[in-house]
Structures are given as structure tokens and as C-alpha cells.
Structure 1
């Protein structure tokens, strides 16, 4: 399934490794170093810095999202719930 993470970006939920609150970036030298290295490799998709609320880490890229961690979590959980629903559509007989 797919998750809309804001700024017209949609990613596959299976590719998500982690979703981190943006405010934690400055408190962790490991996160800062990882983002610095990924920027050198042009694998960071940035948003306007004032609007970033979360960092979405996937297998190939790091995304700065204007949506909160909570909102992204709800969207991811909604997709897993939808996957578990049974299909009750009636099959048409021909």
C-alpha cells in the first residue's frame, strides 16, 4: 500500500524504515550525520525547513514531511486496517 506523506509525495509503506520527529534531528549527532551523508548522495527530499515536522526514512531516500509523526502513523495504520477488511462486494452473475 501507499502512504501520502505531504508535499505531493507518496511512498510505499513496505519501504518505510522509520518515522522520526523533526525536533529530534538536532539532538542526535547520528541522525544529523546520516542526513548529511544522504544529502551528499542526493537522496534527501526536502520540504520548506519551517514546515518540516517529521523525517521519513525509507530504503532509498529520506523525506522531510510537513505532517506530524502522529498523522503519518494514523495513515499507515489506516492502510493496514483496510488491508484486513474483507471484500463484501457482490459478484455479478452473467
Structure 2
């Protein structure tokens, strides 16, 4: 199964480690540090095109992890993942 996470990005669900709301998660110091370190490591892909609403952490064959910033909310992504539907906006 695959999950459409925004723009033209579709990822295999088996690679997803977590889907996080950016507003709620960014309050935590550890989350801010994690995102800053991921940015420094060059493993953050901003596919939001505008203001990101959530981020998706995934396993990646060439990196330890990859972080996608997306304009789609975490609830919507979660519902898509559970339903198993690949929805394009």
C-alpha cells in the first residue's frame, strides 16, 4: 500500500515511521532538535510548497531516515493510511 503525502510524493506505507502534526510537535524541545538535526543532515524534503502542516518520518534505503514536510494535515494523512486509499488532491 502507498500513501500520497502531497504534491507528487507517494510513499510505501511500510516505510512510514510516524506522522506528526507540526504545530503540536514543534512545542517540544526534542522535536525541534530532531528537525534541526535532520535539516543539517540534509534529509528533510519540503514538499509543502507553502506553509507545512505536518511532517512524515520514513525509513529510506540510502539514509537512516528521511523527513517530509507536507501541507496535508496529520489527521488527513492518518485517515488515508488507515483507509488504504491513495487520494490525490
State the TM-score bracket (shorter-chain normalisation).
0.7 to 0.9
The CA deviation at 1:25 is 3.7
2:55 matches 1:55: yes
Please, which runs of 5 or more residues in structure 2 have no aligned partner? 60-64
The CA deviation at 1:26 is 2.9
Q: Name the counterpart of 1:6.
A: 6
- Give the alignment's TM-score, normalised by structure 1: 0.75
What pairs with 1:3-42 in structure 2 (closer than 5 Å)? 3-42=3-42
| Runs of 4+ in structure 1 over 2 Å off | none
- Give the alignment's TM-score, normalised by structure 2: 0.79
- Between structure 1 and structure 2, the one with the greater Rg is 1
Cα distance in 1 for partners of 2:26, 2:13 equals 26
